[in-house]
Amino acid sequence: MNCVREWLAGSLLIADGAWGTESQARGLAPGAPDTWNLTHPERVEAVARCYVEASSQIILTNTFRTNSVAMEDDLEAINCVGVALSKRADGDAFVFASIGPTGKILIAGEISKEQAHAAFAVRAADSRLQVRTRCWWKR
């Protein structure tokens, strides 16, 4: 089922916005914002909650760069906690798993197509994300 297509057939959808900007306003330094799921969960949940309070119907997880190419440590924990934090703040919003880039450029030879595919396939198959989110949002 494509829930986004169903929603759009009836009206507009309001999604959350600039997670990085909101996190920086709460003290995030440049680096890996996904690790905040473990080190500053209250701040991550506050970002999600601010979007719920602003009437967002879609809340992303703070898991944009959590893949085996972009990061090495605590991937499962970061993903699980990221989903849980957005779910706690979700109100009536749908929580979408955010799957972002590897940080490597394919055309420059920094990563192979197979390596990128494998990193994203692991994320998409992660049962913890599938069970705890209603839809997928790929950027």
Amino acid at 82: G
User: CB neighbours (10 Å) of residue 139?
Assistant: 8
- How does 19-40 read in b/e, with b if 16+ C-beta sit within 10 Å? beebbeeeebeeeebbbbbeeb
Domain that residue 56 falls in: 3-138
Closest CA to 46 of 100, 2, 10, 85: 85
Instruction: Count how many domains the chain has.
Output: 1
pTM score, whole prediction:
0.81
Closest CA to 16 of 107, 119, 111, 139: 139
Quote the CA–CA distance of 67 and 120 in Å, as a whole number: 7
How many Å apart are CA 87 and CA 120, to the nearest integer? Answer: 22
Q: What does the pLDDT read at residue 99?
A: 84
Report whether pLDDT(63) > 70. Answer: yes
Report the mean per-residue pLDDT for the chain: 83
What pLDDT digit, counting tens, does each position of 87-134 carry? Answer: 888 677 888 888 888 999 999 999 999 999 998 888 777 645 555 555
Domain of 49, CATH number, reads 3.20.20.330
Question: Is the pLDDT at 135 greater than 80, yes or no?
Answer: no
Helix, strand, coil tally for the chain in percent (to 5): 50, 10, 40
